[in-house]
């Protein structure tokens, strides 16, 4: 990409897409193309085809997706598989039909088998059963990976697939019904502190281990890979370290300044026991994550509080 390239960031208001957009703006790219979901429904093929034809897009960051935590995945499985399949299919095919130079597809580490060896290497894809709680979403993402690979093989396109670990950062989803664990815990501890509650309930046993990558780090990785990586094989993006949910809860408790008790509800399913990605491949290319979890949590909590103050005005 050069500074005059016409670049489309799909999902620019989301956690990942907004970080990619910020990174591109900071580097001085001039022709950044965005559309909200009301302006362009990516599930509608006719709309997507017309948009690509009109905009003469050269590069695509496909960060648009329907995402959510365990509750949302469990309650709306049809929505997750249908919407993600439609979004991916329409954007990837329109990119091919309109001679886009390169496309970066964002997947997820939930594509890996539930009981795959740790850390998760790229070659573990399709070697075992998926985690049942997010299987529809994972299957949609696997289809997107395969679609990129298939277009590369049949049509000679340059579509790459990036597998980020658990994400957090500005513009995260803090809705307790649909959010992931980290933003949900930030909200729970903040509200418990504000309301002087004696305890905070955390779902599960607290034993599962997760890795957390700040969205600004992922954005930097995506720009790096758009310039440096042209292989059909998937590539992981992560920090290479994980933490238990119990340790995460205690860290967020400290950042928020909540002094009550943490209660773990073991009747709620834990999900995958551990999810740590092997980042050897991207590290060898020359990229490593920079934002520590402590720094990231402090900045996200500050942004969350600032956003609440703005809404109260």
- Going from the C-alpha of 175 to that of each of 158, 178, 262, 282, 300, the distances in angstroms are 36, 6, 20, 32, 15
SS (H, E, C) the chain: CCCCCEEEEECCCCHHHHHHHHHHHHCCCCEEECCCCCCCCCCCHHHHHHHHHHHCCCEEEECCCCCCCHHHHHHCHHHHHHHHHHHHHHHHHHHHHCCCCEEEEECCHHHCCCCCCCCECHHHCCCCCCCHHHHHHHHHHHHHHHHHHHHHHHHCCCEEEEEECEEECCCCCCCCCCCCHHHHHHHHHHHHHHCCCCEEEEECCCCCEECEEEHHHHHHHHHHHHHHCCCCCCEEECCCCCEEHHHHHHHHHHHHCCCCEEEEECCCCCCCCEECECCHHHHHHCCCCCCCHHHHHHHHHHHHHHHHHHHHC
Question: Which of 8, 59, 96, 137 is the catalytic position?
Answer: 137
Task: Assess whether 8 carries a catalytic annotation.
Answer: no
* Cα distance between residue 60 and residue 66, in whole Å: 18
Question: Is 188 a known ligand-binding residue?
Answer: yes
Quickly count: other Cβ atoms within 10 Å of residue 230's Cβ: 12
Would the annotation count 270 as a binding residue? yes
Has 108 been labeled as part of a binding site? Answer: yes
Q: Is 12 annotated as a binding residue?
A: yes
Whether 210 has a binding-site annotation, put simply, is yes
Confirm or deny that 16 is annotated as ligand binding. Answer: yes
- Sign of torsion over alpha carbons 180, 45, 30, 2: positive
**Is 260 annotated as a binding-site member?**
no
Is 130 flagged in the annotation as binding? no
The verdict on whether residue 169 carries a ligand-binding annotation is: no
Annotated binding-site members for NADP(+): 11-17, 106-109, 141, 180
Give the catalytic positions in this structure: 137
Binding site: which residues? 11-17, 106-109, 141, 180, 188, 203, 210, 270
Annotated binding site for substrate: 188, 203, 210, 270
């Amino acid at each position: 990409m050069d500074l005059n390239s016409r670049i489309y960031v799909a999902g620019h208001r989301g956690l990942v897409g907004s970080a990619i957009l910020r990174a591109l703006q900071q580097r001085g790219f001039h022709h950044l193309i965005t559309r909200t979901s009301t302006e362009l429904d990516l599930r509608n093929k006719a709309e997507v085809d017309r948009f690509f034809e009109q905009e003469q897009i050269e590069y695509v960051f496909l960060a648009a997706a329907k995402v959510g935590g365990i509750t949302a995945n469990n309650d709306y499985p049809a929505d997750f598989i249908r919407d993600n399949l439609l979004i991916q299919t329409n954007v990837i095919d329109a990119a091919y039909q309109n001679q886009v130079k390169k496309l970066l597809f964002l997947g997820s580490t939930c594509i890996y088998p539930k009981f795959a060896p740790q850390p998760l290497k790229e070659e573990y894809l399709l070697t075992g059963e998926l985690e049942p709680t997010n299987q529809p979403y994972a299957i949609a993402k696997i289809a997107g990976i395969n679609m990129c690979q298939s277009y590369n093989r049949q049509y000679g396109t340059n579509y790459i697939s990036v597998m980020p670990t658990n994400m957090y950062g500005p513009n995260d989803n803090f809705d307790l019904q649909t959010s992931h664990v980290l933003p949900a815990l930030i909200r729970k501890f903040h509200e418990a502190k504000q309301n002087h509650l004696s305890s905070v309930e955390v779902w599960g046993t607290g034993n599962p281990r997760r890795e957390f990558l700040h969205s600004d780090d992922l954005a930097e990785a995506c720009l790096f890979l758009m310039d440096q990586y042209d292989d059909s094989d998937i590539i992981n993006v992560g920090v290479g370290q994980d933490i238990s949910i119990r340790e995460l809860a205690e860290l967020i408790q400290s950042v928020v300044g909540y002094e009550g008790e943490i209660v773990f509800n073991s009747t709620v399913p834990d999900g995958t026991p551990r999810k740590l990605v092997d980042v050897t491949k991207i590290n060898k290319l020359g990229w490593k994550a920079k934002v520590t979890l402590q720094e990231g949590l402090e900045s996200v909590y500050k942004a969350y509080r600032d956003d609440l103050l703005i809404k109260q005005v």
